[in-house]
Chain A
Amino acid sequence: MRFTRAQRYMHAVLFTTFLGLAATGLPMRFSESFWARKFASGVGGFGTIIFFHKFFALVLTVAFLIHLKEVFTRAFVRREKGIFWGKTSMVANWKDVKDLFGHIRWFLGLGPKPQFERYAYWEKFDYWAVFWGMIVIGFSGYAMWFAPFFARFLPGWALNAVLVIHSEEGLLAILFIFSIHFVNTHLRPDSFPMDMVIFTGVESEEEFKNKRPEEYQRVAAQRKLETRLGVQPPLWLLNFSKAVGYTAIFIGLLLLVLTLSAYFGG
Chain B
Amino acid sequence: MKTASSIALALGTLLVFATPRVAMAEADCLECHGDKVDASTFGASLHGSLKCGDCHSTIKDYPHPDQVTPVKCESCHTGEAEGLVGSVHANRAEHPCTSCHGDAHAIFPKGDPRSAVYPLNIPHTCGACHGNDDLAKKHGLPNVYPLYIDSIHGFALSKEGLLVAANCQSCHGSHHILSHKDTQSPTYKANVPKTCGNCHAGITADYMGGVHGKAVAAGHLDAPVCSDCHTAHAIEQPTAAAFRMQSTPICGNCHKDKFSTYRDTFHSQLGSLGGYVETARCWDCHGAHNVLPANDPRSPIAPANLIKTCGRCHEGANASFVQYQPHANARNRKLNPALYYIRLFMNLLLAGVLTFFVIHTILWLIRSRYQQVKTRSAKGGKNG
Which residues of A line the B interface, CB within 8 A?
27-29, 31-32, 36-37, 40-41, 44-50, 103-104, 106-109, 113, 122, 129, 144, 147-149, 151-152, 154-157, 159-161, 163-165, 168-169, 171-172, 175-176, 179-180, 183-184, 188-190
Residues from chain A with a CB closer than 8 A to the CB of B368 are: 188-190
Q: Is the CB of A40 within 8 A of B275?
A: yes
- A-B contacts, 30 of them at CB < 8 A, read A28-B266, A29-B269, A31-B269, A32-B272, A40-B273, A41-B275, A45-B276, A46-B273, A46-B275, A47-B275, A144-B266, A147-B314, A151-B321, A154-B320, A155-B320, A155-B323, A156-B324, A156-B325, A159-B323, A160-B324, A160-B336, A161-B338, A163-B265, A168-B346, A168-B349, A171-B350, A172-B349, A175-B350, A184-B357, A188-B364
Known: A109-B367, A129-B353, A165-B342. 20 other contacts (CB 8 A): A40-B273, A46-B273, A46-B276, A46-B279, A49-B273, A50-B270, A107-B367, A152-B320, A155-B320, A156-B320, A157-B338, A160-B336, A164-B343, A168-B343, A171-B350, A172-B349, A172-B354, A180-B357, A184-B364, A189-B368
Instruction: Name the residue of chain A whose CB is nearest to the CB of B320.
Output: A151
Residues from chain A with a CB closer than 8 A to the CB of B315 are: 148
- Cα-based distance from A144 to B336 in the complex (angstroms): 19
Residues from chain B with a CB closer than 8 A to the CB of A147 are: 314, 321, 324
Which of B273, B342, B346, B350 sits near A37, CB closer than 8 Å? B273
Shortest CB-to-CB span from A132 to chain B, Å, is 10
Closest 9 interchain pairs by CB?
A45-B275, A156-B323, A148-B316, A168-B346, A151-B321, A46-B276, A107-B363, A159-B324, A40-B273
Q: Is the CB of B317 within 8 A of A104?
A: no
Instruction: Report which residue of A27, A122, A147 has the largest number of chain B beta carbons within 10 angstroms of its beta carbon.
Output: A147
Residues from chain A with a CB closer than 8 A to the CB of B181 are: none
- Cα-based distance from A152 to B357 in the complex (angstroms): 39
Does B194 touch A at the CB level, under 8 Å? no
Q: Is the CB of A104 within 8 A of B269?
A: no
Residues from chain B with a CB closer than 8 A to the CB of A184 are: 357, 361, 364
Instruction: Name the residue of chain A whose CB is nearest to the CB of B269.
Output: A31
Does B147 touch A at the CB level, under 8 Å? no
Q: Is the CB of B274 within 8 A of A41?
A: yes
Residues from chain B with a CB closer than 8 A to the CB of A36 are: 272-273
Q: Is the CB of A45 within 8 A of B320?
A: no
- Cα-based distance from A50 to B271 in the complex (angstroms): 12
- Cα-based distance from A127 to B15 in the complex (angstroms): 98
Shortest CB-to-CB span from B165 to chain A, Å, is 32
* Interface residues of chain B: helix, strand, loop or mixed (majority): helix
- Cα-based distance from A239 to B375 in the complex (angstroms): 29
Does B263 touch A at the CB level, under 8 Å? yes
Q: Is the CB of B363 within 8 A of A156?
A: no
Instruction: Name the residue of chain B whose CB is nearest to the CB of A30.
Output: B269
Q: Is the CB of A152 within 8 A of B272?
A: no
Please judge, given known A-B contacts A107-B363, A156-B321, whether A161 and B353 are in contact too, CB under 8 Å.
Answer: no
Q: Is the CB of A47 within 8 A of B342?
A: no
Shortest CB-to-CB span from A149 to chain B, Å, is 7
Instruction: Name the residue of chain A whose CB is nearest to the CB of B368.
Output: A189
Instruction: Name the residue of chain A whose CB is nearest to the CB of B365.
Output: A188
Does B360 touch A at the CB level, under 8 Å? yes
Q: Is the CB of A189 within 8 A of B350?
A: no
Which B330-372 residues have C-beta < 8 A from chain A?
330, 336, 338-339, 342-343, 346-347, 349-350, 353-354, 357-358, 360-361, 363-369, 371-372
Residues from chain B with a CB closer than 8 A to the CB of A155 are: 320, 323
Does B309 touch A at the CB level, under 8 Å? no
Q: Is the CB of B321 within 8 A of A164?
A: no
Shortest CB-to-CB span from A249 to chain B, Å, is 15
Q: Is the CB of A31 within 8 A of B268?
A: yes
Which of B269, B325, B338 sits near A28, CB closer than 8 Å? B269
Residues from chain A with a CB closer than 8 A to the CB of B183 are: none
Does B328 touch A at the CB level, under 8 Å? yes
Residues from chain A with a CB closer than 8 A to the CB of B232 are: none
Residues from chain A with a CB closer than 8 A to the CB of B320 are: 151-152, 154-156
Does B231 touch A at the CB level, under 8 Å? no
Q: Is the CB of A108 within 8 A of B363?
A: yes
Which B165-196 residues have C-beta < 8 A from chain A?
none
Please judge, given known A-B contacts A31-B268, A107-B364, whether A160 and B321 are in contact too, CB under 8 Å.
Answer: no
Does B318 touch A at the CB level, under 8 Å? yes
Residues from chain B with a CB closer than 8 A to the CB of A129 are: 353
Q: Is the CB of A48 within 8 A of B275?
A: yes
Q: Is the CB of A164 within 8 A of B342?
A: yes
Q: Is the CB of B364 within 8 A of A164?
A: no
Residues from chain B with a CB closer than 8 A to the CB of A45 are: 273-276
Please judge, given known A-B contacts A148-B316, A156-B321, A188-B365, whether A168 and B276 are in contact too, CB under 8 Å.
Answer: no
Q: Is the CB of A161 within 8 A of B321?
A: no
Q: Mark B140-151, 1 if CB is under 8 A from A, else 0.
A: 000000000000
Shortest CB-to-CB span from A21 to chain B, Å, is 15
Q: Mark B293-328, 1 if CB is under 8 A from A, else 0.
A: 000000000000000000000111110111111001
Q: Is the CB of A104 within 8 A of B363?
A: yes
Residues from chain B with a CB closer than 8 A to the CB of A163 are: 265-266
Shortest CB-to-CB span from A76 to chain B, Å, is 32
Shortest CB-to-CB span from A156 to chain B, Å, is 2
